[in-house]
Chains A and B, each alone.
Chain A
Amino acid sequence: MMHTKTPHLNSIMIPIAIWLVFGFAGIAKSQGPVFIGSPDIFESTLTKNDIKDIFMGKKKKWVGGKGITLTVNDQTDIEKTFTKAYLRKTPAQFINFWKYQIFVGNGNLPKFFTDENQLIDYIEKSEGAIGYISSDPPKEKKVKKFIIAD
């Protein structure tokens, strides 16, 4: 009996092992979004719910009372990763959500950037701005990197 089962088990276990090794390696390689903000923002740590509330327009002010200026990194890969991981939406659903907000009078559209360097420059020079980028910001840029807690 054992002789007949072992090859069958191997045929299942080997692909799973391969997937675990390479799959996790792939996941480990793909970096999630890095959240950055203007240097005048008091907060250093944000929760995932804070991120969701901010990018869904529910939380509009920082702790000190300063208004939040939203930016969106409009590069396909990072936008997809961000909207899926933090908002449980697709990029199309996220854009649609903001169009809805505009046309029912609930606020202004976030600022969209297709160039990450321009986004970083904008956040550095603006007050209360937040955005996400694909990797750590250059050291010479005076932007705050948020710690994200669960």
Chain B
Amino acid sequence: MKKYVFIITIILISCSVSMAVDNDIHIHGFISQGFLQTDHNQFIQNSENGTFQFNEMGLNFNTQITDDLHLGIQFFASDFGDIGNDKITVNFARASYYYRQWLSFHAGINKVAFGLHGDTRDLDMIRPTIFLPSGVYPESFRDCLNSAKGLEFRGNWRPTMPEFQDILGEFNYTIQCGIMDINKESGVGRVLAKAFHTDSEYSESDTAINMIFNWEPPVPGLRLIGQYAKFGYNLGGKTINDIFWQSRKEDALSDMAPTINPESISVTNIPVDYDGYIEEILFGFEYSWQDLVFSFEHVKHIHDFDITVDVLFLPDTTLPITVPFENNSVGFYYMFSYRHTDWLKFGAYYSVFYPNEEDKKGNGLGTNAGRPDYFAWQKDSCLSFRFDFNRNCSLKLEGHYLDGCAQLDDTVKIEPDEYFETNRYWYLFAAKISYNF
């Protein structure tokens, strides 16, 4: 019901806003509706049969209070299979104070800057493709890594003397500090619970720090980016009964206490707690020449946790055991887009993601236990066409050829016995129509 009220509000405001040209409060919004179909594998719920559970809508209000002070708020709702479910959230709500070109402050709920395109994830009208390359921008992360409550500092600087400008170019920076809402139902919560083979019961994050630096060297059209982010995270719940935990127990017993009867110890369905941090290191570049844009980005996620398991010695004795857990995931992509005419743009990318940098071939190390080897990678080749009917309305069509399923169970829960029913090679077709004002 709320979804329809929200849609009607956007439509009513979009009709009236053109009349309120000189209003001090500026109102903008967007709606996009997509369609998804896969030939194999459930990318999101019911995608094998085709699904419309793929939409976004946003409504924002901006006003310039003084020459220095700007206020803005954006309400947002999206649906992506089981993620989002059209729940209305605040995308950003912030007060911005412009001090100088090299420094502005933003306080409140800020959009989290990530890579070249991370903060455009909700904005279908901005980018050439429907999906951002999932190797660097996993869809499952969007609901909780989009916004953070806290502070942001940003600015840009170039040398004042022209001769140094010719050598050094221009620098831009964004520094963010705040709290992201990573609850157990969020995409990140689900991905980590899956990685830890845990039925999560609680999830919380600590203050995050995020720093992005952009350098525009004196090569026209070239932009280089570097980013570092870190946030603490705590997740807990109960271990699930699968081969992962069984094999952990067997490994531990064979190493430490081979005389103990394995039947006297249980490691499934017992309390487990993960406490640690996640770091993200990203670098990349974008080069644009007239209507052609080429970009590359590489990201590494470092997970460093202490796992505390309350091992149960049957019948009723528990012994907490803490072990370290380290895992690095990596992803990268190459993408180009070209605007052929005012109404036609096409793009293509090749994106790769490895959830475990140490096990790119899925030999069964770490988190891949109990899954086919092709859950150790996901390679996505995408071709996309964008048709702009006018400045406010566009249609996109795109096809993906995927090898591997590393991110398949980020968005859809797969039962342990269903992993071997998936297909290594699969196609995804997506269409999306967007309107903005």
Contact = CB atoms under 8 A, between A and B. Distances in A.
Q: Do A and B come from one complex?
A: yes
Interface of A: 49, 53, 58-61, 65-67, 88-90, 92-93, 95-96, 99-100, 102-109, 128, 150
B98 A105 contact: no
A99 B436 contact: yes
A104 B74 CA distance: 8
B32 to A, nearest CB: 12
Contact of A96 (B60, B64, B126): B126
A103 B30 contact: yes
Contact of A105 (B62, B125, B126, B165): B62
A109 B28 contact: yes
Contacts of B120: 100, 104
B58 A103 contact: yes
A132 to B, nearest CB: 19
A106 B68 CA distance: 12
Contacts of A88: 220-221, 288
B118 to A, nearest CB: 10
Contacts of A58: 101, 156
Nearest to B62: A108
A150 B339 CA distance: 30
B410 interface: no
A38 B110 CA distance: 33
B413 interface: no
Contacts of B436: 99, 103
Given A67-B67, A150-B162, 10 more contacts: A53-B101, A58-B101, A90-B290, A92-B342, A100-B126, A103-B58, A103-B60, A105-B92, A105-B106, A108-B63
A99 B123 contact: yes
Interface in B349-385: none
A58 B221 CA distance: 17
B111 interface: yes
B210 to A, nearest CB: 14
A93 B221 CA distance: 13
Interface string B104-146: 0010001100000001101101100000000000000000000
Contacts of A61: 67-68, 98
B349 to A, nearest CB: 18
A60 B162 contact: no
B72 A105 contact: yes
A107 B23 CA distance: 15
A115 to B, nearest CB: 14
Contact of B64 (A49, A93, A108): A108
A66 B74 CA distance: 27
A48 to B, nearest CB: 10
A60 B69 CA distance: 11
Nearest to B92: A105
B303 interface: no
Nearest to B101: A59
Nearest first, the 8 A-B pairs at minimum CB distance are: A67-B67, A105-B72, A105-B92, A104-B111, A60-B98, A103-B123, A108-B26, A100-B126
A103 B122 contact: yes
Contacts of A89: 288
B40 interface: no
A53 B167 CA distance: 18
Nearest to B154: A106
Nearest to B58: A103
A107 B126 contact: no
B127 to A, nearest CB: 9
A107 B101 contact: no
A116 to B, nearest CB: 18
A57 B123 CA distance: 19
Contacts of B110: 105
27 contacts: A49-B158, A49-B165, A53-B101, A61-B67, A66-B67, A67-B64, A88-B288, A90-B291, A90-B339, A92-B342, A99-B123, A100-B126, A103-B60, A103-B122, A103-B126, A104-B92, A104-B123, A105-B60, A105-B72, A105-B74, A105-B92, A107-B96, A108-B26, A108-B63, A109-B28, A128-B67, A150-B162
Most buried by B among A67, A96, A103: A103
Contacts of A104: 92, 111, 119-120, 123
A102 B98 CA distance: 16
Contacts of B391: 95
B286 to A, nearest CB: 12
B424 interface: no
B400 interface: no
B149 to A, nearest CB: 14
Nearest to B69: A67
Contacts of B230: none
Contacts of B165: 49
B194 interface: no
Contacts of B291: 90
Nearest to A92: B339
